Every structure is written in structure tokens, then in C-alpha cells.
Amino acid sequence: MSRVTIAEVARKAGVSPTAVSFTFNRPSELSPATVRRVLAVAEELGYAPNPHAKALHSSRAGAIGMLVPEDISDAFANPFYAPFVRGVGSICDELDLSLMVVSPHEGSLEKGITKAPADGFIVLGAGEKHPDVSPLYRRRVPFVIVDGDAEKAPSVNVEDEKGAHEAASRLLARGHTDILVMTFLNPRSQLVEAPFHDIASRRQSGYMRAFEEHGVAWGEAPAEAKQCSIEGGDERMKAAWSDGHRPTAVLCAADALAFGVLLAAEKRGVRVPEDLEVVGFDDVPEAALSRPALSTVRQPIREKGRIAARLLTEALDGGGSSPRSIVLPTEWVPRRTTL
């Protein structure tokens, strides 16, 4: 079924297409009777203004985009996103804005951006030097970087290195020397376009510093999960065991991976924390509900989303003379997956 057009509404209401447009965009320029007649016909026919066309007639689309550097199905396999979107959504609700999730199109973030009718973007997991993000400067589109490095753009990050250092130090202080470090990518890669390259690098730096301080060899590169999800953690843990590796503890760079480790341990009859201690990072709401409840590093996820959305709306309104770089604290949360 084709979309009801502005011409159809105009014919039915006995007005010009311009009058229909003015009804939805500049009603003060029409008589109240005309506005009421057009709205009644629009409701009868099921007409709604095309958001793309509306954006062309005004300087704002009334929507912000949340740019994720991976497929949407992969992104939302990570429980981190739910509280983050709630934080962003609280500001959208307050300011009557819509929120759209924008992912790469044909493998390109830049192509995804050009297809999205958004006033500005929250860029999640990609720094400002990402080759597909940097064109936003040329287009003069406001954006805020979250979980990525930035010098010119506003940004929101957390104390990734500090939190990771504390988590590793607590395991090392209990005498663990065979610790599997599980991350969502290999942060040794120098490719800035790698998703979440910056936070993975910071967390790895924290882990490595703790190993050095406790005189424990860092060993090989971290175990990289194919996907930052429960399935990714499960598969990577089973792969380690299949290779003959029997770690006594696992440091996960995300809670989603830790949940997968717990699942793999349950399938193999490995006791947690007696045989295997497991630590996550994020403290998503599910962390307190897992069995056993997950010891992890807490970051204020919902607050991070709220701040990012607030910074973006300030930028859209022309506020702020210089970019703000906000770093939120982390906190160690001991639960039942550690002794």
C-alpha cells in the first residue's frame, strides 16, 4: 500500500498542497478553520508528514542518531546497550526528540550517517579519528564521542584503565598466575577503525600494569571473542579449554563475555568461584541476577547515556564555547564469582 500523499489531502480538503504543508509546519500562517479542516482530512486518510521532507523545510529533523560501529543485531546482543539507551532516552523524552540507531551501511559508517535524517549523532565505540567519523567535521554535523578518544569533539568516557587495573590486581593479589584475559578485539591492532579500539586498549593497559606490578608475566595477546555477547564468551572459553588451557581465573573486558564464561563453566561442571574465578566489566543490570552473581567493575552506563545526549543537545543549540571531555568513575563490585 502506497503512502498517502500531500496532494491527496489537499484535494480532499479543498486547499493547496502548500496549505497542507503549512498546517503541519507553519499553522500560524493559516486560519484556524483551515488548520482544523486539513487536520481532520489528514486523520481520515491516515496521512502523516514525511520526516525527510519535513527536515528539508526546517533546520531541524527533531531526531538524534546513535551511531554504533557494528551491525544492530550484534550491538544489541550486548546487554550494555539497554541502560545506555535508557539514559539517552531520558533526555529525548524531556526534549521531545526521536532517537534512531544508525549502523554501518554496506560496511561504511559514513554511508550510514548520510542515510540518517538526524540533527546530530552520539558516536559509540569509535573515536573522532575514525575515517568514517571524521567527515562529520566537514559536514559540520554536531556529534559526541562515547567510549572513544577525542580532542576536538565533546566526549564521554569512563576510567577504563583504572577499573581494569583494580580488577586484575584483586585476582593477582590472591595468588592467581594463570589468568585468561578475554576482550572483544585485539587492542594491539593499530587500526583506529576497529570497533571499540580505544576502550579495549585502555582496559588492556590496566590489566598489563597490574600484571607487571605483581611480577606475573603477561604472556600472549588476550583471548579475542568474535562477538561481545554471551555466545562470544561461551565460544571463546570453550576454545581455550579445547586447546588445553586451564586458567584459574578469567578477566573479561565486558559483562556480556563473563556471562558466556559462566555458561561454559556450567556446561562443563566447572565450579565458580572454587575452580574458576570470573570478573566482568560494566555492571549491567543482569550482573546482580546471574548465577552466581557476577563480580565486576561498575561504570555508570545510564548516566553516561544521559550525559552524552545532554552534550549533543547543547551542541545542537550552539551552547558551549569549547568541547567538554567528561570522564566518569568506575567502582569495584565484589559478588559471588570471586572468593
Q: Write down the domain spans for the chain.
A: 6-57, 63-158+301-329, 160-299
Residue 227 pLDDT > 60, yes or no? yes
- The DSSP letter of residue 273 is T
Residues 6+ away with beta carbon under 8 Å from 180: 223, 237, 240, 245, 247, 249, 250, 251
Query: For residue 53, what pLDDT band results from cuts at 50, 70 and 90?
Result: low
Residues 327 and 157: beta-carbon distance below 8 Å: yes
Top-confidence range, 44-58, 188-202, 258-272: 258-272
Secondary-structure class of domain 63-158+301-329 per CATH: alpha beta
pLDDT at 256: 96
> 160-299: which CATH architecture?
3-Layer(aba) Sandwich (3.40)
Q: Do domains 63-158+301-329 and 160-299 have the same CATH topology?
A: yes
When the candidates are 3.40.50.300, 3.30.457.10, 1.20.1250.20, 1.10.260.40, the CATH number that belongs to 6-57 is 1.10.260.40
pLDDT at 180: 96
Top-confidence range, 55-69, 171-185, 221-235, 251-265: 251-265
- Integer CA distances (angstroms), 7 to 21, 40, 46, 48, 196, in order: 10, 15, 13, 12, 47
Terminal CA-CA length for the chain: 61
Helix axes 160-173, 197-213, angle to 10 degrees: 30
Could you tell me the pTM of the whole model? 0.83
pLDDT tens profile 89-118? 999 999 999 999 999 888 888 888 877 888
pLDDT tens profile 115-140? 788 889 999 998 988 887 877 887 78
Give the other-Cβ count within 10 Å of 268's Cβ. Answer: 12
